[in-house]
């Protein structure tokens, strides 16, 4: 499929990312999968290569290019290399946390955090989910009560991407527990603050190289100077930035589906059964025809959404439609590809095995498929 979305500068950037993947990711990825996180050095290498903070103004050490297409290229190439864990970790840093720092940060905060954000010396995370609270952000129980020139933060967060490596965590907390959604604020918690501890590094079915952890906050005194935006406005900020997060997940989903399709097509052209190539059976041809069609349709919709994000017109409802459709496609495609591989599809020596495991969580994080449909259904007036 010829994509008109990208221009020559984006293609040059893609070539640089591919070289980075070949040199710094592929030789180590199996080890990262077994260890449950990537080498911290990878973040610094990514910073040196100009892959972090592309949207951050040059005066803070960034690329000075707010064009989301660069972000899309980065996570696409990780996903196409079978490294969806990196798409998630780096995507969260660039696509999710960066907008909060850029849009809500004071000048002092930007000068304090953004240079390290762009160099890879400062890894970021966002802490929303709690052991008893998933998609319902209004129900968070973590509290941050003002005490003089600080907020006293207490609570536990789980499923936090970049949780172990993170140096700066945007924490969703109730500064006014009695005010519901109007009592939610965002606090930037820094590594080393007394009372801020890492819990378990979580073992997962897939995305095993993704650094995922529990975070525990016990009477952490967070300076009031670390409040992002205005007190009590956190829920609105979260709703405003969720479309970009969901778009980022969709970019990974479509790229991963394309990669799975490619690996499986190659396998089925070479592998024989009953005296003929697996791909030549009518059932196989039909499956490939279905996957090729669905992936191309998803790509067109995704590229339109990227244009809309750049133009500032991507709505939460359209992002919800995109997120649930592409992630369900990713799950469906990788499952079909495992089936076409037969028993070998279940073996880790083939990349489709990892892709199949990695796909499953994408219909859950960033808002479950069911929550996406609820958003869409309400917009339809039901």
| Phi and psi torsions of 190, nearest 5° | -105, 150
Separation CA 72–CA 6 (nearest Å): 10
Separation CA 194–CA 180 (nearest Å): 28
C-alpha dist (Å) from residue 274 to 281, 336, 344: 10, 20, 17
DSSP 260-326: HHHHHHHHHHH-EETTEEGGGSHHHHHHHHHHHHHHHHHHHHHHHHHHHHHHT---HHHHHHHHHHH
Q: Which residues are catalytic?
A: 245
What is the pairing mode between strands 124-127 and 168-174? parallel
Separation CA 119–CA 117 (nearest Å): 6
Q: Which two tokens stand for residue 315?
A: 């709505």
Cite the DSSP H helix spans in the chain. 8-20, 29-35, 40-48, 68-80, 84-91, 98-104, 107-119, 234-270, 282-311, 316-341, 351-359, 369-379
| Residue entry with tokens 């905060």 | 109
What is the pairing mode between strands 212-223 and 150-161? antiparallel
| Phi and psi torsions of 133, nearest 5° | -140, 120
């Amino acid at each position: 499929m010829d994509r008109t979305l990208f221009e020559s500068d984006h293609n040059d950037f893609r070539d640089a990312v591919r070289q980075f993947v070949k040199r710094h990711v592929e030789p180590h990825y199996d080890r990262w999968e077994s260890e449950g996180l990537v080498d911290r050095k990878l973040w610094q290498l990514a910073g040196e290569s100009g892959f972090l903070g592309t949207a951050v103004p040059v005066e803070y050490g960034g690329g000075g290019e707010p064009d989301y297409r660069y972000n899309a290229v980065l996570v696409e190439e990780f996903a196409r290399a079978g490294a969806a864990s990196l798409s998630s970790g780096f995507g969260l840093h660039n696509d999710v946390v960066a907008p909060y720092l850029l849009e809500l940060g004071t000048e002092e905060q930007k000068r304090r955090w953004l240079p390290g954000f762009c160099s890879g010396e400062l890894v970021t995370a966002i802490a929303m989910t709690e052991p008893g609270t998933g998609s319902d952000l209004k129900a968070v129980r973590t509290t941050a009560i003002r005490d003089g020139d600080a907020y006293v933060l207490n609570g536990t967060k789980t499923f936090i991407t970049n949780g172990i490596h993170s140096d700066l965590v945007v924490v969703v907390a109730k500064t006014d527990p009695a005010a519901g959604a109007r009592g939610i604020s965002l606090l930037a918690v820094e590594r080393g603050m007394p009372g801020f501890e890492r819990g378990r590094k979580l073992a997962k079915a897939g995305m095993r190289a993704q650094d995922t952890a529990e975070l525990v906050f016990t009477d952490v005194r967070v300076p009031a100077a670390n409040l992002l935006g205005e007190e009590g406005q956190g829920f609105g900020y979260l709703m405003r930035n969720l479309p970009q997060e969901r778009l980022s997940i969709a970019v990974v989903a479509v790229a991963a589906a394309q990669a799975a399709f490619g690996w499986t097509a190659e396998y089925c052209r070479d592998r024989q059964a009953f005296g003929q190539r697996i791909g030549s059976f009518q059932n196989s041809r039909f499956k490939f025809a279905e996957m090729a069609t669905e992936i191309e349709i998803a790509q067109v919709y995704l590229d339109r959404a990227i244009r809309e994000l750049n133009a500032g017109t991507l709505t939460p409802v359209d992002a919800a439609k995109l997120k649930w459709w592409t992630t369900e496609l990713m799950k469906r495609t990788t499952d079909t590809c495992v089936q076409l591989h037969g028993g070998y599809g279940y073996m880790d020596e083939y990349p489709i095995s990892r892709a199949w495991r990695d796909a499953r969580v994408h219909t859950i994080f960033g808002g479950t498929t069911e929550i996406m449909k609820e958003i869409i259904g309400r917009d339809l007036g039901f």
